[in-house]
Chains A and B, each alone.
Chain A
Amino acid sequence: MSDDNKTIEMEVLRYRPEQDREPFFQTYEVPFEDDWSVLQGLQYIKDDLDSSLSFRWSCRMAICGSCGMMIDGVPKLGCRTFLRNYHSGKLRVEALEHFPIERDLVIVVDDFMEKLARIKPYLIPKQVRKLEQGEYLQTPGQLEQYRQFSTCINCMLCYAACPQYGLNSGFTGPGILALMHRYNADSRDGGRDQRMELGHSDEGVWGCAAVAYCSEVCPKEVDPANAINQNKMGSAIDYFLRFVRPRGATG
């Protein structure tokens, strides 16, 4: 929006497995406007300076979750981080930490997708209802029990922030555990027992070391650390209840 022809140096991590033996930084001089996002800076590079730079993006409005990246070492969405905040200085952009790099800023997300499917992230109804019976009733208060955890955009910033996931990729990780809690906490759902087979394990909530950096970097205030905590509580209660009632009994 300004007219003083500001520029910023963007140091971007490059890695093209067909030609680069290892990742390296490439610096681009990018002219920018005050309202430009880091993503717009990358688009400028792609369109006008170097068409070989690859990165994921789509919606530009922090809802599709494509453009997670490390910006000066912090996991952020490229489309909701603004170049003006890094002026006048350099800005370093890298692929999200804790994931293998496919190319440049593009990471391999197979692990995340497999884990997502494993937790049964869909409603397992307490009582099956036919369409003709209309909607399940759910009060605004009941909705509020899980609403926050349903707003995860799968951007995986919390995985890049999670030291446990960095050490042990077997850990299910913050975003997906939050999603598990989203369904467990839904008044229409009766699938908690099925999901908590995994949730109780070290791959599940007990793998979390309660660093809570995940909640800090979350762009949508999902607060995965809180979701995991609530499940640790639930998991501990389940553990003790096993001694007082047989498995599968209803209480």
Chain B
Amino acid sequence: MEVFKSDVAVVGAGGTGLRAAIAVAEADPSLTVALISKVYPMRSHTVAAEGGAAGVVRDDDSLDYHFNDTVAGGDWLCDQNVVEYFVARCAASLTQLEHWGCPWSRKPDGHINVRAFGGMKVERTWFAADRSGFHMLHTLFQTSLKYPSIRRFDEYFCTDLVVEDGRCQGVVAIEVATGKFTFIQAKAVILGTGGAGRVYRENTNGGIVTGDGMAMAYRQGAPLRDMEFMQFHPTCMPGTGLLFTEACRGEGGFLLNKDGYRFLQDYGLGPAEEQPRNKFMELGPRDRLSQAIWHEERKGRTISTPYGEAVHLDLRHLGRKKLHERLPLICELAEEYMGIDPAKECIPVRPGIHYTMGGIYANLETETPLPGLYAAGECASNGIHGANRLGSNSLVDIIVFGELAGEQAAQYVRTVQNSNPESLEKLASDAEQRAVAVVSRTDGKEKHSVLRREMSQSMESGCGIYRTATEMQATCDKLAELRERYRKLNVEDKSSIWNSDWLGALEVGYLLEVAEAVAHSALNRRESRGAHQRLDGYEQRDDVNYLKHTLAYHVPEGTPRIEYQDVIITRSRPGTRAYGAAGEAEEAQRRQERASV
């Protein structure tokens, strides 16, 4: 097997991985960085993020406001020390991207412009039209070309982490073009592999978002935390699940039911006003909006489409000029994919899976419990998103914590040496055997595309917007069955060059592990909080028993072991989470209480 010796291996070359690689290169140019991705960097899913990235810049805004919005938005499941670190660094991290060329939209005076976003008290979302993730990714990728110490492994598919002496010391990867294995030895590994939205059927995610890094870390004993919190984005294209950014509502768009009524006012988000008001109505958080759409469907007030019930996203009043300036990609999606002119007609939308709030447990320093392994971005759970992420916090999450992971890893590698090469290469060779076994067996009969379909349907029925124990248990049982059937896989394509049948099979292996962590974490949380809502006697938030993070540990021949961990609270005691007029009253009351202490 080929061996490449690096100091830091970064897995994933999206926003997190690129930012981490640059941070290592800047911290110490003498360190060799291996940047490994199963796709070319500009194909990474960061590219599809539309709306923007949060960072406090306005005079009437403050870090406190951003902190409070994030913690309350996460239904108090955020680690508040991490949120404090985060909000303090957002603007500088975004400015760094500006210095590298990111074409942020501007105000007439040449300063950065910001737009409104759901659950955010003040406008603080930096944006590049509605292609914010695209521009961030290309800026980072192109900037990374300046650094000679970054050695890219494009289209290398990681199959395992190499753990020896209790430390992560590299990764094993398949070169997609040849099918050959490479052991990329490293003193530290950073995972920036993104989410796992593909465990569901109707989702906004690219085909590559299959939880690879989460599953690799999980198999090596690192816990997956808070996996039950899967974000449904309220405004997705029926059928394909393609995303209509929250910026549609940030720019003033309305959500209507089949009677043309702005139904969100019936769900504690009103009053309905003509002008968008922050944290009211359409600018409420994603979990509440998706839940409201679910209720409208039960009341028979939704619009039927061939791909299920929908509500209307109404952008007509914004006018063609503003739509094409601020939301060009949205116009393209509506026109090209649905034959709808958003300046003239409403767009039917329905909730779809968008973001994995949970992930590999990582602390404020981006360290996982496995020494030498760091995680940042969507694949990590560092505690900033809690039970519900606010839109525009994740695009800045990836650069704030991508940078930090790079800095941390660069420091750490100065303090360690690799174990002896023979034992590492033996482990790498074992990993190769395991991955090859998936393709080389000839006695199986199961197709991975069938398993994937059954998995995603089961996740949708059991771990949707509202959940019951019966349905979640059925999904857990189904996943156990699918994992059993996965052992009898038949990968028809036995070739070496660009064998995407084999890689697809490995991805389904990752997805099934992650799906089990989601379903079991959900079943065990007997309360309703943020994106985890139950209908079977646990409709309320229960801070006495569940103001805790879920930790799911991998059990090789069984179901995940679930443990709990305290939430870190520094200055915001859990309170009532309210929006609209009720939210204003709640905020006034908290202010008063603080003043009287």
Contact = CB atoms under 8 A, between A and B. Distances in A.
B422 interface: no
Given A58-B206, A135-B98, A137-B110, A64 B42 contact: yes
6 contacts: A16-B495, A16-B497, A51-B447, A56-B39, A103-B498, A117-B145
Interface stretch (B43-51, B266-274, B515-523): B43-51
Contacts of B43: 56, 58-59, 64-66
A93 B240 CA distance: 22
A26 interface: no
B130 to A, nearest CB: 10
A120 B332 CA distance: 30
Given A122-B143, A136-B99, 16 more contacts: A16-B495, A18-B495, A52-B493, A57-B207, A58-B207, A59-B48, A60-B207, A63-B48, A109-B40, A120-B145, A135-B111, A140-B107, A140-B108, A143-B105, A146-B103, A153-B42
B497 A147 contact: no
A117 B39 CA distance: 17
Question: What 9 A-B pairs come out closest when comparing CB atoms?
Answer: A137-B110, A123-B101, A58-B206, A47-B449, A103-B498, A121-B142, A52-B493, A59-B206, A51-B501
Interface string B490-527: 01110111111100100000000000000000000000
Interface of A: 1, 16-19, 33, 35, 46-48, 51-52, 54-66, 80, 102-104, 106, 108-109, 113, 116-117, 120-123, 125, 129, 131, 134-140, 142-143, 146-147, 150-151, 153-154, 179, 183, 186, 188-189
Contact of B99 (A56, A61, A123, A154): A123
B207 A63 contact: no
Interface in B99-118: 99-101, 103-112
A147 B131 CA distance: 12
Interface in B278-305: none
B142 A35 contact: no
B153 interface: no
Which has the most chain B C-beta neighbours within 10 Å: A103, A120, A146?
A103
A87 to B, nearest CB: 16
B95 interface: yes
B135 A150 contact: yes
B337 A35 contact: yes
A97 B166 CA distance: 50
Contacts of A153: 42, 47, 134
A51 B493 contact: yes
Contacts of B177: 102, 108
Interface residues of B, number: 63
B233 to A, nearest CB: 14
B95 A134 contact: yes
A48 B39 CA distance: 24
B92 interface: yes
B500 A59 contact: no
A1 B332 CA distance: 20
B110 A122 contact: no
B329 interface: yes
A61 B239 CA distance: 13
B424 interface: no
B142 A60 contact: no
Interface in B202-217: 206-208
A15 to B, nearest CB: 10
B101 A63 contact: no
Nearest to A187: B110
B1 interface: no
Nearest to B492: A51
A55 B371 CA distance: 37
Interface in B125-141: 131, 134-135, 138
A116 B499 CA distance: 27
B556 interface: no
Contact of B134 (A52, A63, A109): A63
B333 interface: yes
Contacts of B338: 35
Contacts of A140: 105-108
A238 B209 CA distance: 47
Interface of A, secondary structure class, is loop
A103 B449 contact: no
Contacts of A134: 95
Given A51-B449, A63-B329, A129 B99 contact: yes
Contact of A61 (B105, B306, B333, B499): B333
A66 B39 contact: yes
B572 interface: no
A188 B111 CA distance: 13
A4 to B, nearest CB: 13
A16 B501 CA distance: 13
A120 B243 CA distance: 33
Given A60-B207, A63-B131, A123 B100 contact: yes
B99 A122 contact: no
A125 B109 CA distance: 20
A111 to B, nearest CB: 13
B54 interface: no
Contacts of A57: 207
B593 interface: no
Given A121-B142, A131-B99, A139 B108 contact: yes
Given A63-B48, A102-B497, A109-B40, A139 B106 contact: yes
A18 B498 CA distance: 11
B174 interface: no
Interface string B318-338: 000000000001001100111
B154 interface: yes
B385 to A, nearest CB: 22
Given A151-B131, A153-B134, A60 B145 contact: no
B589 interface: no
A60 B243 CA distance: 11
A23 to B, nearest CB: 14
Contacts of B208: 58
A57 B504 CA distance: 12
B111 A104 contact: no
A102 B155 CA distance: 13
A143 B103 contact: yes
B442 interface: no
B30 interface: no
B48 A64 contact: yes
A184 to B, nearest CB: 12
Which has the most chain A C-beta neighbours within 10 Å: B112, B142, B447, B453?
B142
A195 to B, nearest CB: 12
B336 to A, nearest CB: 6
A36 to B, nearest CB: 10
A188 B206 contact: no
B306 A1 contact: yes
B463 to A, nearest CB: 23
Contacts of B104: 135
B96 interface: yes
Given A18-B497, A52-B501, A113-B40, A63 B106 contact: no
A180 B349 CA distance: 39
A143 B47 contact: no
A142 to B, nearest CB: 8
B493 A35 contact: no
A121 B41 CA distance: 15
A58 B101 CA distance: 26
A151 B133 CA distance: 12
Interface in B415-452: 447, 449
A138 B146 CA distance: 23
